[in-house]
Chains A and B, each alone.
Chain A
Amino acid sequence: EAQLVESGGGLVKPGGSLRLSCAASGFTFSSHSMSWVRQAPGQGLEWVSAISGSARNIYYEDSVRGRFIVSRDNAKNSLFLQMDSLRVEDTAVYYCARARRTTGDLSGFDLWGQGTMVVVSS
């Protein structure tokens, strides 16, 4: 069964850093673009970043560009999000999500992890 499991969330002070991980299993990880999607408390879903299967193409939402870095290790079936210079407004549940299609960098997200909570507060 295909599965995504995130880890690495927690409480951090403004300006601090966190590294989120997402472990994939049950599918050919390298064939799929992967994304991070977040949901702030009481808010809707917001796409954060995507990385193509080969890691050749990387995309960021404007508010995180220059502060967050997405990466992947296809040999270890793992996705990462390095989050630096964290702000209060980055507080959210962060989900890793798999692109449905194996062609192109973006499509619907057909597999989601359970989410990991990031709280940025002094």
Chain B
Amino acid sequence: DIQMTQSPSSLSVSVGDRVTITCQASQDITSYLNWYQHKPGKVPKLLIYDASNLQPGVPSRFSGSGSGTDFSFTISSLQPEDVATYYCQQYDFIPPTFGGGTKVEI
């Protein structure tokens, strides 16, 4: 299985901060990488698909980049409603696998 190593596992930031999360795949997954936001008591929400494409309706402060094995996810200016756990997920290989998650707190 493809291992997705996400870092950091948690971070505490301030409103307005720039937040960057990285995700490394154990082998080349081209651009088949998605990012999700999961708030407590809510369902996961797709934010970025295929490494860098913003899902319709998602604010433009969220962005993603990368290809191959190294990917990053950025929140340009953290808002209070962005408190959540963020997951990367690859789907180039079966089984699709998620990173361990990054818990973002204020």
Contact = CB atoms under 8 A, between A and B. Distances in A.
Given A108-B34, A114-B43, A45 B94 contact: no
Interface string B83-99: 00101010100111111
A110 B47 CA distance: 9
Is the interface on chain B under 10, 10 to 19, 20 to 34, or 35 or more residues?
20 to 34
A112 to B, nearest CB: 4
Contacts, number: 61
A47 B34 CA distance: 14
B49 A45 contact: no
Given A44-B100, A45-B36, A47-B98, A106 B43 contact: no
Interface of A: 35, 37, 44-47, 50, 59-62, 95, 97, 100, 106-110, 112-115
24 contacts: A35-B96, A44-B85, A44-B99, A44-B100, A45-B44, A45-B89, A45-B98, A45-B101, A46-B98, A47-B89, A62-B1, A97-B44, A100-B46, A100-B49, A106-B91, A106-B96, A107-B49, A108-B46, A108-B91, A109-B36, A110-B46, A112-B44, A112-B45, A114-B43
Given A44-B101, A97-B44, A106-B96, 15 more contacts: A44-B87, A44-B100, A45-B44, A45-B87, A61-B95, A106-B91, A107-B49, A108-B46, A108-B49, A108-B50, A108-B91, A109-B34, A109-B36, A110-B46, A114-B43
